[in-house]
Structure 1
Amino acid sequence: MIKTGLACRIGRMAGDSGPERVLVAASFVNRVGNGLFNAASALYFTFVVGLPAVQVGAALTLAGVMGLCAGIPGGHLADRRGARTIMTVALAVQALSMAALVLVESWTAFTIIATIDQIAAAAGGAAWGALVVRVGGERPALFRARLRTFVNLGVILGTVGAGAALAADTRGAYVMLILGNAASFALCAALLLLLPRYPVLPAPPQQRRWIAFADRPFLTFTALYGAMGLQYPVVSLLLPIWISEHTEAPRWTVAALFAVNSAFCVVMQTRIGSRIESPYDGGRAFRIAGLLFLVSCPMMALAAYAPVWAAAGLVLVAIFVHSLGEVWESSACFALGFGLAPDHAQGQYQGVLGLGFNAGQALAPAILTTVVLGLGTTGWLLLALFFAALGAAGPSLARWGMRTRPQPGVAAEVTG
């Protein structure tokens, strides 16, 4: 009875319809695999394969740049050929490329395989965005919040599994992580076959093919989204270095901040995200996120001036506030990113949005480590003001975007 009740509760959390549960399950499985791989990939290629760290970084950078070019055409293809089809093909390619990594013995082979994987990931990511819109139904905000909750949970479980392999520190353990990730791609692709074959939505006549590039409000939002995305490496890169080099907080604080960040996002995403449905809601949520980052960044800086336990407590409170901002920010980006895009071009728009976000993530390490760490406390305060200024633009951006969307009557007339 208890197990049945728990299963029913998880089922309700996963979605209100069969397609919603399928996409949640597929995304969860895929992210468990990602968690397995991401936590140990660099160690495998440096310590087991024997590639210098510089070569590993160069290969991943080159692969990432090539992947940036694939998201927009991949999304457009999803709009015209079906998001489920393109995403399934992309996952199959990733399953094969990931499995091939266990055969890598040279930098050239690693670069080629990693590039294929990143191209497929970019195309599949844009198709995933279009598929989420079709599956989301009448309450897309609630579905997207639930989806992100399970995605975060999947990454956590995968990372825990990777910890066992890291403790073993053998070639066989690392290979199992890579093959586990490959299997997650394959299983995810198989699960997507259970989804309905959603019909392709026709574009209005005489509309230009690359409509997203003429949408100035959306391009502006893409730039803001990429810039606000610097908040993710604050947790994964900047704060661990700051704690280790500039504070008296014990080293276990680094592990604790990851746990607090992940757990809080899992717990709060559905509760907050389900209320942010329209682009107007998204604009206000974007502003709230900026204000929360305005509070969290100075608290992280102040930890450098506090004694041991006060520093640890200050960091944990700061990461709590920062995680709250992350939930508001991700919910805002869901509402604006999907809400401003026309239904027939969701894949193309998500490809553009992914390009902006990934470009920001590529620049983030250099910006955060040189500007913020280089300036110390002043750098943290400038970062806080930067996030607040970005967030303040959210409501006016939402109003601008909605003013320039086709009105329902006009849209019906054009497509009629």
Structure 2
Amino acid sequence: MITGGPAGRKATLAGESRPERALIAASFVNRVGNGLFNAASALYFTLVVGLPAVQVGAALTIAGVIGLCAGIPGGHLADRRGARRVMMVALTVQALSMAALLLVESWAALAAVATVDQIAAAAGGAAWGALVARVGGDRPARFRAKLRTFVNLGVLLGTVGAGLALAADSRSAYVALVLGNAASFALCAALLLLLPSSPVRAAPPRERRRPAVTDLPFLTFTALHAAMGLQYPVVSLLLPIWISEHTEAPRWTVAALFAVNAGFCVLTQTRIGSRIETPHDGGRAFRTAGLLFLVSCPLMALAAYTPVRAAVGLILVAVFVHSLGEVWESSAGFALGFGLAPDHAQGQYQGLLGLGFNAGQALAPALLTTVVLGLGTAGWLLLALFFAALGAAGPPLARWGTRTRPQPGGAGETKG
């Protein structure tokens, strides 16, 4: 492919093959819809539907916990029946369940609809992982980095759209956000029709039915990945509270940190992530991420002891360093998560990885607000050391995982 001219650069940015471009477009559309809805979902349920916040939280928590259980079975189904087929079904269910939210008038109805949505989301997420592994081809790290760049951009654009609707503050604006998200699921499913039907790789003879849950190195990585995932709520939850309650920085600093985080990730993900391809690369990247978080967390804590201008500057520098760590951490997750999983069971392995990550995200708000905010500066320092220790485990984990992978051969392919 000639990539020297403007058309070539555009093609490379958007994907180097038709399947890559189709999956990037589908993911982008889906994340725009997510950004539209997620930023305003709590307000829709409380202000438009009229449910108490406690009931909304309980319903979504129940749905999330039940949905966690669908990741591994959904991934196994994707491995055996085809990842594209499973993901399209999951997206269709999500489109219908999202539209059904407009009919919700009670706590029980919200819990039921949200549970269906979360089950489909978990199964679809595992199938998405298998699709990414298949479409990535010879340069999987480069493709995954591009994909995440467009995913971040989609969320950013969707969030901007949600902000406009929130400014309107009307029932019709909130309804438009719900329908916009439902439409994004439907369009995403339609775009997946552009992907070619891929053969299903048969499992080796006498392999266990659920190999992922007996793969000790991968289970260990799943736990480390879930724990390192606490870095995401640091920016979205912990730092905004710290700014408002413990620093002299103005409230607009919170908006600025989100802009810096999102913009930096969009601009650097492909440049950094495309170089992290093998599990060994991923192990070193995991360590680098831990060291960057070791720097960023104390800087966030230090902002509480400085005057206004210095506090704003420290926070923005801290978010810059933290965002760099986020890019290295996500790239490490791609390299290790896909690289340690066998081709014939990518869906099941990605389902397990998603289960661990989502469980960690569910526990994160309570852990971070209780431990870090409860201990203050000491909590920030403890969190920094925690991330650094997790990162240090990356290289030995990569060596262990690579050493214990089964030798290739023996697995054929059957059409699915």
Q: Normalising by the residue count of structure 1, what TM-score does the alignment of the two structures yield?
A: 0.97
TM-aligned CA distance change 1:414 to 1:201, over 3 Å: closer
Deviation at 1:10, TM superposition (A): 3.6
* Alignment size in residue pairs: 409
- In the TM superposition, what is the alpha-carbon distance from 1:6 to its structure 2 partner? 6.7
The C-alpha deviation readout for 1:162-186, integer Å capped at 9, x for no partner, is 0110000000000000000000000
**Deviations 1:4-47, CA, capped at 9 Å, x for gaps:** x8776443201100000000000000000000000100001001
Q: TM-score, normalised by structure 2?
A: 0.97
CA separation of 1:134 and 1:171: change in aligned 2, threshold 3 A: same
Cα deviation 1:92-137 (Å, max 9, x = unaligned): 0000000111111111111100000000000000000000011011
**2:349 is equivalent to residue 349 of structure 1:** yes
Pick closer, same or farther for the CA change 1:224–1:300 going to 2, 3 Å: same
Taking the TM superposition and a 5 Å limit, the aligned residue runs for 1:219-258 are 219-258=219-258
Match of 1:264 in 2: 264
| Contact map agreement 2:203 2:411 (CA 8 A) in 1 | no
Take 1:74 and 1:311, find their aligned partners in 2: how far apart are those partners? Answer: 46
TM-fit CA distance, 1:213:
1.1
Query: Could you tell me how far apart the structure 1 residues matched to 2:357 and 2:300 are?
Result: 24
Letter of the 2:351 counterpart:
G
Kindly provide the amino acid, as one letter, of the partner of residue 96 in structure 2.
Answer: L
What runs of 5+ residues in structure 1 fail to find an aligned partner? none
User: Would you say the 8 A contact 2:202–2:411 is kept in 1?
Assistant: no
Offset from partner CA, 1:362-395 (integer Å, 9 cap, x none): 1100000000000000000000000000000000
Query: Which residue pairs with 2:143 in the alignment?
Result: 143
Q: Residues 351-372 of structure 1, C-alpha deviation per residue, up to 9 Å, x if partnerless? A: 0000100010011000000000
SS of the residue 1:184 aligns to: helix
Deviations 1:42-96 (A, max 9, x none): 0010011110000000000000001000000000000000000000000000000
Distance 2:8 2:410 in 1: 45
C-alpha distance in structure 1 between counterparts of 2:410 and 2:249, whole Å: 63
Residue in structure 2 matched with residue 412 of structure 1 by the alignment: 409
Aligned-residue offset at 1:223: 0.2
Tell whether the 8 Å contact from 2:264 to 2:323 is kept in structure 1 after alignment: yes
Percent of residue pairs identical = 82
Displacement of 1:214:
1.1
- 1:67-106 matches, within 5 Å, as 67-106=67-106
d(CA) in 2 for partners of 1:413, 1:224: 31
Distance 1:65 1:413 in 2: 37
Q: Given the alignment of the two structures, is residue 120 of structure 1 paired with residue 120 of structure 2, yes or no?
A: yes
Query: How far does the alpha carbon of each residue in 1:311-336 deviate from its partner, in whole angstroms, 9 at most, with x for none?
Result: 00000000000000000000000000
* Cα separation, 2, equivalents of 1:141 and 1:181: 29
Q: Counterpart of 1:189? A: 189
Q: How does 1:37-48 map to 2 (within 5 A)?
A: 37-48=37-48
Tell me, what secondary structure is at the counterpart of 1:412? coil
2:214 is aligned with 1:214: yes
- What is the match of residue 398 of structure 1? 398
Whole-angstrom CA distance in 2 between matches of 1:315 and 1:339: 35
In 2, Cα distance between equivalents of 1:50 and 1:129: 37
Moved more, 333-342 or 104-113: 104-113
One-letter amino acid matched to 2:409: A
Tell me the distance in 2 between the aligned counterparts of 1:45 and 1:31. 21
C-alpha distance in structure 1 between counterparts of 2:173 and 2:411, whole Å: 58
- In the other structure, the counterpart of 1:172 is 172
Is the Cα contact below 8 Å between 1:295 and 1:321 reproduced in 2? Answer: yes
3-state secondary structure, aligned to 2:368: helix
Q: Is the 8 A contact 1:63 1:111 kept in 2?
A: yes
Q: Is the 8 A contact 1:205 1:415 kept in 2?
A: no
CA shift for structure 1 position 280: 0.1
Return the letter of the residue paired with 2:116. Answer: I
- Contact kept, 8 Å, 2:287 with 2:388, in 1: the verdict is yes
Q: CA deviation at 1:413?
A: 5.2
Aligned-CA RMSD value: 1.1
Instruction: State whether residues 33 and 185 of structure 1, in contact with CA within 8 Å, keep that contact through their aligned partners in structure 2.
Output: yes
In 2, Cα distance between equivalents of 1:41 and 1:317: 31
Query: Is the contact made by 2:205 and 2:410 (CA closer than 8 Å) also made in structure 1?
Result: no
Indicate the residue corresponding to 1:383 in structure 2.
383
Unaligned runs of 5+ in 2: none
CA distance in 2, matches of 1:25, 1:47: 33
- Aligned partners of 1:174, 1:8: CA distance in 2, in Å? 40
Q: Secondary structure at the match of 1:85?
A: helix
